[in-house]
Amino acid sequence: MSSTEVANPKAFVNSDATAVQDGIEGIVLASPNLNRLDGYPDVKVVFRTDWDKSKVAIVSGGGSGHEPMHGGFVGCGMLTAAVSGEVFASPSVDAVLAGICAVTGPQGCLLVIKNYTGDRLNFTLAAQKARDLFQMKVETVIVNDDVATGAKRGIAGTLLVHKAAGAAAEAGASLEEVKKAAQLAIDSTASLGVSFSTCGRRYPERMSKDEMEVGLGIHGESGASKEPLKPCGEIVTLLVDKLLTSDASKSKLADASGYVALVNNLGAVPPVEMGVVVKALMASGIGPKIKALIGPAPLCTSLDMNGFSISLMALSGSLEEQILASCKAPAWPAAVTPNRTAPASMPFKSQDVSYLENAKPSSNPAVEAMLTEVCNILIASRQELDKIDAVVGDADCGSTMATGAERILQHKDKLPFADKEPLCRCLSDLLGLAMGGSSGVLLRVMFLGMADALKADPEISVGAAFAKGLDAMMAAGGAGEGYRTMLDALCPAAKVLSSGGSLADAKAAAAAGADATKTMQARAGRSENVPEDVLLNTPDPGAVAAAKVFEALDKAYTA
């Protein structure tokens, strides 16, 4: 990738010029207690419509690209108004002034400012103009929770400041008291982030596939350090250790009896991975001291950055009460006490639902020889079937079938060869557990269907029971003969056997059915989404495997 190439220029916008305004409109449309000022494009302010100016207003903001910050945190118990700039750019002095004037009453206003030069200058000057031009009571605080560098930037921990100040204001505190609450939150909060990528929609990628950056800024600034890629648990331990021991954070976090933890998705981490992060955090050395957990959630993002940050707040004074207080901001996920409840016991023991564990081994040399021959031929056909599947599917049909066969051979001494019904149930267990994907489940259904048929009618032939098992398979899977699946070999063989035909005839019918799939349109299974010209003249590997099964059965029967 060249130094000027952006990794992912695609974006769901109408135009770059209106993206921020359109995004703000979306927030307002989805939030009945919010509105915006009619000042586009220069003034982008979201404010509470349920606000009566009888309490201290809390105003914050900054560049866009960090959504849901800032507009998503406007609501009862948090911000009164949020002022947005363009992507990664501070809003203007006039925009901030408009936000102050829209919501500030006699009790005054507190501006919560992140420690970036543009924000400090524009918000501070707007506060001065509000005092000078409109005689408003306006105070400011500067958030510096990022401990990655000496810059002491304001990042995701700013939300904890919003929450503490918003709760104090909602409770009726004076401007002086609200500012004091905000400053205590600032003095008690430290944050640190890590990422595997930059903001791909805005900057070229600078990290290789085997490295990560620790301490990135939320505008894509380079991290404080590059580190080799590590497992998630080690990454979380690294962040927690730095948070607790760095010179920038020791004074904020040291010796606290309890902490609030905010786990923030920087934009592109899948939810399942964020869950892994939370588990690692709670398993870390600080886990037992975490009294309140916020997230995991995208709270202060950096467009599509593939990373996360952890913010810790040392609890003292009224902070815990303020963080846990009710809040109606649309994007606030609420702080919760970590659920440390031990996992509940399973409702049953594995052996209670295992046909194999409850079966009584028995001998029938002929049946054992036939099953062994089937398993051996499937194991020997692994590469052949995988090669066919590489054309029409995902190249694992042979491996899947061989794995099931190997599992049966491993447990052969436990099988009730002399009793057809429990044998079918045991085979269902073994194949269902050993084989991945839909094949294992379908074969499990088929063998259970056979077992049920044998139980319902002890006099039924194996061929007729086999047909009943296929009926169950087709009902569960939704496919049938003619769909270009293993059923195109299994169904013709079942018709032969259920009508009293020989294994040799069933072998021939299965082989013909498998061969017919070469020109058959795929209507289900692995090949359904493969172009017809790719499928042409290549048989379905599942059908080929089924044909090989009947070839093995006939060979063992006639031996």
Residues annotated as part of the active site:
219
What whole-number distance in Å separates Cα of residue 185 and Cα of residue 260? 11
Q: Which residues contact 207 (CB under 8 A, 6 or more apart)?
A: 195, 196, 197, 198, 213, 226
Q: Which among 110, 113, 57, 108 has a CA at the least distance from the CA of 85? A: 113
Residues paired with 195 in a beta bridge: 213, 307
Dihedral sign, CA of 388, 391, 397, 402?
A: positive
Hey, what long-range contacts does 267-276 have (CB within 8 A, 24 or more apart)?
267/199, 267/298, 267/301, 267/302, 267/303, 267/304, 267/305, 267/306, 267/307, 268/197, 268/200, 268/304, 268/305, 268/306, 268/307, 269/306, 269/307, 269/308, 271/296, 273/232, 274/308, 276/232
What whole-number distance in Å separates Cα of residue 250 and Cα of residue 57? 31
Residues composing the chain = 559
- What CA–CA distances, in Å, run from 363 to 192, 367, 408, 413, 414? 65, 9, 15, 9, 10
Neighbours of 508 (CB within 10 A): 19
Helix locations, 316-381, DSSP H: 319-324, 355-358, 365-380
SS3 at position 74: strand
Q: HSE of 368 in the Cβ direction (CA atoms, 13 Å)?
A: 14
Chain centre distance of CA 27: 23
Chain centre distance of CA 192: 22
| Cis omega (within 30 of 0) for bond into 70 | yes
What whole-number distance in Å separates Cα of residue 414 and Cα of residue 412? 5
Name the one residue in this structure whose structure tokens are 């205590």. 184
